[in-house]
Structure 1
Amino acid sequence: MGNSYSKEDAVHDPIIDQRNLESLRSYLRSYNPPRECVGGYLNILLFGLVGAGKSSTINTFFSALDREGRTANIAPWSSSDRSFTPELWSFTPETLKFRFWDAPGLSSKDYEKNAEKILTMILDGRLPPGTKIKDLDPDLECKYPVTEENKIHGVAFVFNLETVDNLSADVLNEFRKLQALVGQKYLYRIVIGTHFDQIGIPKSHEAYIYQYKRLQEKFSQLSEDIKMDKRVMFAISNDLKGGHIEITKAVLALYALENMVRNLDLFFRVTHQ
């Protein structure tokens, strides 16, 4: 494929075919969280800037998890009337044991200077779905008791690959602090890079996205900027056109989700044995 690709520097090498898609889908659809997950659900928070693609990533997960690969529009995203909503929302695929939590974008004025306090409250399960972030008083945690079933188990930091090169030093510094905060709570965290189909890779080569040098360079720089390992960085596409998600997009989405679920499951079983 020419000098634009490198197998040696690829952080992942998922098998893009129907058999692997069915294997990923089967594992995730039949997954049951450890009993330590109060409420019986694995809570996964998606956190990032306004417009990073958090809501559309949730829709991509829903679509990829569907047995027929039918595209879903469960979480409101950029073309909907409820886009950039100030509320915290959760979404649960029918009959599955995950809850995806969608938080307002970090660049929203709703956070002001309280991003770390508000994220802590979300992680601790103090904020139920529908909470308006702008109405919070983060200095009065006693007003917001912990609800065990709302505690977050893992966090996906979401970045738009098309615009990640233009993030300011202040924004990157904020993400460094936030991901360190998540780490201090012993929660597994990954990075999801969205819209990989907007960074120049030919559509016919999308199955080789991790071998694409431009993506490798973006992950290397982001790893340095926010101090997270490249091996926990994943690329997905949020571009869902038509009635069914394409195999490549479905595999890449479930590959990222499976990584998080397996590591969360391992953590629970090791720490509670």
Structure 2
Amino acid sequence: MEQDAEGKHTITQNGTTFSLTIRNAAKEDEAKFTINLRNKSGSASCSAMVIVGIMEWRTVQWKQVPMITTLKNFKVSNEEVRELLFLLLGPIGAGKSSIINTIKGIFEGHQFIDCLAASDSTGKSFTTKYQKFSIGTLPFALYDMMGLEKDQKNGEPEGVHSDHIISALKGHISDNYEFKPKVPMYEDSKYYIRDPTLNDKIHCLVSVIAADRVTLMDDKVIQKIKTIRAEASKLGDQPTQLVFMTRVDTACTLTQEDLTKTYQSKKIKEKMEECSTKLGVPMNCIFPLKNYHEENKMNEKLNCLVLEAFTQAVYSANVYVKRFSCKEKHAE
């Protein structure tokens, strides 16, 4: 038996098997450990990555059928509202379009590719229009829009104009409006809705952030997201706001190997805390998940993470509709 000076790391041997024990494992113990063996016949080595997990701090239903059934049976609190509307906002490549494909795929029972997603290498948004995607016959619809771009020449954020997003939240923009970067929405546009009803307004604003890029996000893009969130909060009947944090498998080795360890990952929790600090969003409004990317078969654990996030978004959007409906009744 060999033990280090602090008594923290202990190596034991049983025949040809060597074991490493780490007492009171902490974050700083995460590392790649290598054992080197030498004798007169030669040498050999073996390495292993040690990842420190934590107690599960948020529970998830890891069976998709109950969650799918709940959403299929869901009824909007106001019978006059045909669909709960969700607007996805975020940088290019964060996974807005992929979230829509993933959610539609879960309810279709197979992978769905209808909403074009930007690859990491393009640096440009495939989405140029304000597009509505309904989820089968369910009372839910997700709106996709151009991502927040950064102009490499002058460092100014490009892509969708902030005014577009506020207009969309208020229900002034109709489906298929084509974005023109830095050009706001004008009231004389044929896509402008002058007197929007509750059926036109966005009921939940979802900011989509990639877990593995939180640290590297451009400050001006972050500020743009914060500004939009702040403006949304100033609306008289403000929509609910959540964050879907994608690419958890890329940000953490533990979750890459097992998605059910998402809420036991120190790395994911740290990324959520960083996202919370940068965007000013409470931790309980941030939901880590993974979209379909390379897979060619459905994955129940992946679906459960997405359904957990989407279910919360549905309930939050419904609270907004109920609150807005009550205000209208009192005003009559």
TM-score range, shorter chain: 0.7 to 0.9
Q: CA deviation at 1:272?
A: 3.2
Q: Is the 8 Å Cα contact of residues 88 and 207 (structure 2) preserved in structure 1?
A: yes
Residues of 2 paired with 1:113 and 1:106: CA distance? Answer: 5
Deviation at 1:114, TM superposition (A): 7.4
Following superposition, the deviation at residue 65 of structure 1 comes to 2.5
TM-score (norm 2): 0.72
| CA deviation profile, 1:211-243 (whole Å, cap 9, x unmatched) | 211111111111111111011101111134455
2:170 is the alignment partner of 1:130: no
Tell me: higher relative CO, structure 1 or 2? Use CA pairs within 8 A at least 6 residues apart: 1
Q: Which residue does 1:171 correspond to in 2?
A: 221
Q: How many equivalent pairs are there?
A: 263
Q: What's 1:14 paired with?
A: 60
1:227 corresponds to 2:280: yes
Match of 1:262 among 312, 315, 325: 315
Deviation at residue 26 of structure 1 after TM alignment: 0.8
CA distance in 2, matches of 1:15, 1:35: 28
1:45 aligns with 2:93: no
Instruction: Tell whether the 8 Å contact from 2:249 to 2:259 is kept in structure 1 after alignment.
Output: yes
| CA gap 1:37/1:170 in 2 versus in 1, 3 angstroms | farther
CA distance in 2, matches of 1:267, 1:77: 29
Structure richer in strand, relative to its length: 2
Structure 1 CA distance for aligned equivalents of residues 86 and 302 of structure 2: 20
2:202 is aligned to: 152
CA distance in 1, matches of 2:60, 2:160: 38
**1:30 aligns to 2:30 (yes or no):** no
Q: Displacement of 1:245 after TM fit?
A: 1.9
Q: Which amino acid aligns with 2:117?
A: W
CA distance in 1, matches of 2:324, 2:171: 20
Tell me the distance in 2 between the aligned counterparts of 1:63 and 1:113.
27
**In the alignment, which residue of structure 2 is the partner of 1:90?**
132
Distance 1:36 1:141 in 2: 30
Partner Cα distance (1:22, 1:131) in 2: 36
In proportion to residue count, which structure has more helix?
1
Q: What is the alpha-carbon root mean square deviation over aligned residues?
A: 2.7
Q: Deviations over 1:125-153 (max 9, x none)?
A: 22222111117852633542344333211
SS at match of 2:302: helix
List alignment gaps of at least 5 residues for structure 2. 1-24, 27-51, 327-332
Which residue matches 2:6? none
**In the alignment, which residue of structure 2 is the partner of 1:183?**
233
Letter of the structure 2 residue corresponding to residue 175 of structure 1: I
SS at 2:98's partner residue? Answer: helix
> How many angstroms apart in 2 are the aligned matches of 1:242 and 1:168?
30
Shift of 1:207: 0.5
**Residue identity matched to 2:126:** F
Show the counterpart of 2:35: none
For residues 219 and 150 of structure 2, what CA distance do their matches in structure 1 show?
A: 17
Task: Work out which of the two has the higher radius of gyration on C-alpha atoms and give 1 or 2.
Answer: 2
* Structure 2 CA distance for partners of 1:37 and 1:187, relative to 1, 3 Å: farther
Which residue of structure 1 aligns with residue 3 of structure 2? none
Q: Does 1:245 align with 2:304?
A: no
Residue aligned with 2:206, SS: strand
Provide closer, same or farther for how the CA distance between residues 138 and 266 of structure 1 changes in structure 2, counting only shifts above 3 A.
Answer: same
2:95–2:210 Cα contact (<8 Å) kept: yes
AA aligned opposite 2:209: F
The residue identity in structure 2 corresponding to 1:26 is T
Cα gap change, 1:269/1:151 in structure 2, threshold over 3 Å: closer, same or farther?
closer
**1:116-174: CA deviations, max 9, x gaps?**
31111111222222111117852633542344333211011001112121012222222
Contact 2:203 2:321 in 1 (8 A): no
Q: In structure 2, do the counterparts of structure 1 residues 74 and 32 end up closer, same or farther at CA, with 3 Å as the change threshold?
A: farther
> Structure 1: which 5+ residue stretches go unaligned?
none
2:100 is the alignment partner of 1:58: yes
Q: Against the structure 1 CA distance between its residues 114 and 97, is the aligned structure 2 distance closer, same or farther, given a 3 Å change threshold?
A: closer
The structural deviation recorded for 1:176 is 1.3
Query: Which residue does the alignment assign to 1:101?
Result: 143
When structure 1 is superposed on structure 2, of 190-199 and 160-169 the one drifting more is 160-169
Paired with 1:219 and 1:131, the residues of 2 have a C-alpha distance of: 33
